[in-house]
Structure 1
Amino acid sequence: MDTKFHRLTTSICSKDSMTTPEPQAHLTHVRTDGSAHMVDVTDKAITTRTAVAEGYVITRPDVIEQLFDATLPKGDALPVARVAGIMGAKKTPEIIPLCHPLPLGKITVDFQRMEDRVRIEALVKTTGVTGVEMEALTAVSTASLTVFDMIKAVDKQATITGLRVLEKSGGKSGDWSVER
Structure 2
Amino acid sequence: MKNNKFSHVDNSGNPSMVDVSGKNNSLREARAQAIIEVSPEIMKQINGNELVTKKGPVFQTAIIAGVMGAKKTADLIPLCHPLPVEDCQVRISTQENHIIINTSARITGKTGVEMEALTAATIAALTIYDMCKALSHDIVIKEVKLMEKSGGKNDFKRN
TM-score by length of 2: 0.92
**Equivalent residue of 2:136, what SS?**
coil
Deviation per CA, 1:118-145: give whole Å up to 9, x if none. Answer: 0001100000000000000000000000
Residue 176, structure 1, aligned to residue 153, structure 2: no
Q: Say yes or no: does 1:160 pair with 2:141.
A: yes
Residue of structure 2 aligned with 1:115, choices 96, 114, 130: 96
The partner residue of 1:53 within 29, 32, 37 is 32
Q: Does the CA contact (< 8 Å) of 1:57 and 1:119 recur in 2?
A: yes
In the TM superposition, residue 155 of structure 1 has moved relative to its aligned partner by: 1.0
User: Given residue 136 of structure 1, which amino acid in structure 2 is its aligned partner?
Assistant: A
Deviates more, 1:112-121 or 1:87-96: 112-121
Residue 72 of structure 1, CA deviation = 2.3
Q: Which amino acid aligns with 1:78?
A: F
Q: Which residue of 83, 91, 98 maps to 2:72? A: 91
The Cα of 1:94 is off from its aligned counterpart by 0.4
- For residues 116 and 22 of structure 2, the distance between their equivalents in structure 1, rounded to whole angstroms, comes to 22
Structure showing the higher helix proportion among its residues: 1
Q: Partner letter of residue 54 of structure 1?
A: Q
Where 2:124 maps in the other structure, the secondary structure is helix
Aligned to 1:63, what secondary structure does the other structure show?
A: helix
Of the two, which has the highest radius of gyration?
Answer: 1
Runs of 4+ in 1 over 4 A off after TM superposition: none
Q: Is the contact between residue 41 and residue 136 of structure 2 (CA under 8 Å) also seen in structure 1?
A: no
Q: Which structure would you say has the larger RCO, counting Cα contacts within 8 Å and 6 or more residues apart?
A: 2
Unpaired runs of at least 5, structure 2 = none
Q: 52, 55, 65: which is aligned to 2:44?
A: 65
Q: CA deviation at 1:167?
A: 0.3
CA drift of 1:157 comes to: 1.8
- Mapped contact 1:61–1:117 kept (Cα < 8 A): no
Describe how 1:142-161 pairs up with structure 2 within 5 A. Answer: 142-161=123-142
RMSD (CA atoms):
1.6
From 36, 40, 46, the counterpart of 2:15? 36
TM-score by length of 1: 0.82
Task: Choose between structure 1 and 2: higher strand proportion.
Answer: 2
- Stretch of structure 1 that moved more, 67-76 or 53-62: 67-76
Q: Percent identity?
A: 40
